[in-house]
Amino acid sequence: MSETVTGYIDHVIFRNEDNGYTVMVLKGTKKEEELTCVGSFPAITQGASIEATGVYIHHPVYGKQFQISSFTEKMPEDTYGIERYLGSGAIRGIGAALAARIVRKFGDDTLRIVEEEPERLAEVKGISEKKAREIAAQVSEKAEMRKVMIFLQKYGISLNLGAKIYQKYKESVYTILQENPYRLAEDISGVGFKIADEIAARVGIHADSDYRIRSGMLYTLLQASGEGHTYLPREQLFTRCARLLGVDESYMEKHLMDMVIDRKLVLKEKSGETIVYPAQYYYLELNTARMLNELNIVCPEDKELVRHRIELIEKETGTVLDEMQKRAITEAADRGLFILTGGPGTGKTTTINAIIRFFEGEGAEIRLAAPTGRAAKRMTETTGYEAQTIHRLLELNGMPEEERDGHSAKFERNAQNPLEADVIIIDEMSMVDIHLMHSLLLAVVAGTRLILVGDENQLPSVGPGNVLRDIIRSRCFPVVELTKIFRQASESDIVVNAHKINKGEQVQINNKSRDFFFLKRYDADIIIRVVIALIQEKLPRYVDAKPFEIQVLTPMRKGLLGVERLNQILQRYLNPPEDGKSERAVGDRLFRTGDKVMQIRNNYQMEWEIRGRYGVVIEKGVGVFNGDTGILREINEFAETAEVEFEDGRFAMYSFKQLEELELAYAITIHKSQGSEYPAVILPLLSGPQMLLNRNLLYTAVTRARKCVTVVGNEETFAEMIRNEKQQKRYSALDERIRELSETTGDNNTDGEE
Binding-site residues for ATP, please?
Answer: 345-349
What strands, in cross-sheet order, belong to the sheet with 273-278? 232-233, 273-278, 265-270
d(CA 279, CA 595): 42
DSSP assignment of 244-280: HHTS-GGGHHHHHHHHHHTTSEEEEEETTEEEEEEHH
Q: Are 588 and 557 in contact (CB under 8 A)?
A: no
For residue 15, the surrounding DSSP H or E stretch is: strand 3-15
Structure letter (DSSP) for residue 557: S
Q: Are 5 and 26 in contact (CB under 8 A)?
A: yes
The number of residues making up the chain comes to 754
Q: Please list the alpha-helical segments (H only) found in 622-750.
A: 695-702, 715-723, 734-745
d(CA 30, CA 10): 12
d(CA 228, CA 671): 12
Q: Are 6 and 50 in contact (CB under 8 A)?
A: yes
Q: What is the 3-state secondary structure (H, E, C) of 347-402?
A: CHHHHHHHHHHHHHHCCCCEEEEECCHHHHHHHHHHHCCCEEEHHHHCCECCCCHH
- Extract long-range pairs of 177-183: CB within 8 Å, 24+ residues apart: 177/152, 177/203, 178/203, 179/211, 180/211, 181/205, 181/211, 182/211, 182/212, 182/214, 182/215
Task: Name the residue type at position 647.
Answer: E
Residues in binding site: 345-349
d(CA 302, CA 468): 29
Q: Are 634 and 422 in contact (CB under 8 A)?
A: no
